[in-house]
Amino acid sequence: MLEDLHLRRPYDGFIFLAESVRNPPMLNPHRHVELELNLVVGGEIRYVVEDRSYHFPSGTLLWLFPGQVHQLVDRSPDAAYYVSVFRPSEVKKVGADSRYAGLSGDFPPQKGVLHLRPPAGAFELLRQMMAELCAGGMDADVLNREAGFGLTPGFHFEHSDPAGLNAGLQHLLMCSWRIGEGNTPRDAVPSLHPGVRRALEQIRTSDPPPRLEELAPRCGVSASTLSRLFRAQMGIPLNRYRNSVMLSRFMEHMARGKPTILESVHAAGFGSYAQFHRVFRQAYGQSPREALLQRSPARD
């Protein structure tokens, strides 16, 4: 659950623009010692943090603290959001000033996820700052494929101007915190129903992910009740989350060795290539071959 983000010296953090059309869904609950900042610039994303579900539309600025176990559970096909992380030593340095002391803990000053919708001018300022910091970074396709920190053994984030990146990240962290001062909503987000929590875990950890009819008895509720609760609390149909988990497994399997697309389709839990093709196109807006084979030769 504790994720190693493989940050090497001389970097005090990293930043990249995550996009649904490039970025494989990462659906495992995790936390990391680094403070994380997201700015949603397109579409919408959904997280489960601890035992609560959060929906963040375009225009949202949010922080994920080191003690917060978080899980990305869904993104719209047009979702785009900057992900920046900051080393504990850098956060501690900034937090030494009383104005920024709230950044230094393992959890936010209030319960839940610290987030807000900045005014248009402040949002555009942050977006431009983040875009400029990304300009000297690695190829966007590579960073998305590696989730910024490296899903492939041996991968490490790099930037053409480490000193400039570090200075920019510090300024970004301080500026973001100042924008949020006195303007952070206190959302009354209810805890997830035990059946919904169980469904999230069962779909994520079972091979293959169970369908609604076999999942409901494991969650202690009827299929209709589970379907209704899941949609109400998660904001998406249960089957959409199940499909996302299988897409994530497909991407992971494709990254190992040299499997064919069809081998990865079956390893991910899809019942047929036709089902996979439909789900993939719905998620990425293009066929699997258009999305995958443009980067590597056909393997099936």
Task: Say if residue 186's pLDDT is above 80.
Answer: no
CA distance 278 to 286: 10
Distance (Å) of CA 2 to CA 5, 16, 30, 109, 208: 9, 21, 6, 22, 25
Q: Report the run of H or E that residue 163 belongs to, with start and end.
A: helix 162-180
Instruction: Give 88: exposed, middle or buried? Use CB within 10 Å, 0-12, 13-18, 19+.
Output: middle
Q: How many CB atoms lie within 10 A of CB 194?
A: 13
- Chain-centroid distance, C-alpha 165: 22
Task: Say if residue 281's pLDDT is above 80.
Answer: yes
- Chain-centroid distance, C-alpha 6: 17
Task: Say if residue 93's pLDDT is above 90.
Answer: yes
* pTM (two decimals): 0.89
Instruction: Encode pLDDT of 245-264 as tens digits.
Output: 998 888 888 877 778 889 99
298 or 61, greater pLDDT:
61
CA distance 273 to 299: 15
Instruction: Encode pLDDT of 59-75 as tens digits.
Output: 999 999 999 999 999 99
Q: For the chain, what percentages of helix, strand and coil (3-state, to nearest 5) are there?
A: 45, 20, 40
CATH homologous superfamily of 13-180:
Regulatory protein AraC (2.60.120.280)
Tokens of 291: 């999305």
Give the pLDDT mean for 65-87: 94
Q: What is residue 13's predicted lDDT score, i.e. its pLDDT? A: 97
Domain 194-292 has CATH 3.50.50.60: no
Task: Say if residue 300's pLDDT is above 70.
Answer: no
pLDDT band at residue 32 under the 50/70/90 scheme: very high
Q: What is residue 151's predicted lDDT score, i.e. its pLDDT? A: 77
Which range, of 111-120, 161-170, 217-226, averages the lowest pLDDT? 111-120
Q: What is residue 110's predicted lDDT score, i.e. its pLDDT? A: 81
Per-domain boundaries in the chain: 13-180, 194-292
Which range, of 76-85, 142-151, 201-210, 268-277, averages the lowest pLDDT? 142-151
Share of the chain above pLDDT 70, in %: 93
User: Tokens 């579409």, residue?
Assistant: 43
Q: What is residue 217's predicted lDDT score, i.e. its pLDDT? A: 97
Q: Report the run of H or E that residue 39 belongs to, with start and end.
A: strand 35-42
Give the pLDDT mean for 44-54: 93
With beta carbons less than 8 A apart as the criterion, state whether 188 and 53 touch.
no
Average pLDDT value over all residues in the chain: 90
Q: What is residue 25's predicted lDDT score, i.e. its pLDDT? A: 65
Instruction: Give 29: exposed, middle or buried? Use CB within 10 Å, 0-12, 13-18, 19+.
Output: middle
Specify the 3-state DSSP secondary structure of 21. coil
Task: Say if residue 138's pLDDT is above 90.
Answer: yes
User: Tokens 């176990």, residue?
Assistant: 69
| Amino acid, single-letter form, for residue 152 | T
Q: Do domains 13-180 and 194-292 have the same CATH topology?
A: no
Give the pLDDT mean for 164-186: 87
CA distance 89 to 14: 14
Q: What is residue 299's predicted lDDT score, i.e. its pLDDT? A: 38
- Residues 6 or more apart whose CB falls under 8 angstroms from that of 215 comprise 199, 202, 203, 223, 226, 238
Q: What is residue 297's predicted lDDT score, i.e. its pLDDT? A: 38
Share of the chain above pLDDT 90, in %: 69
Task: Say if residue 141's pLDDT is above 90.
Answer: no
| Amino acid, single-letter form, for residue 228 | R
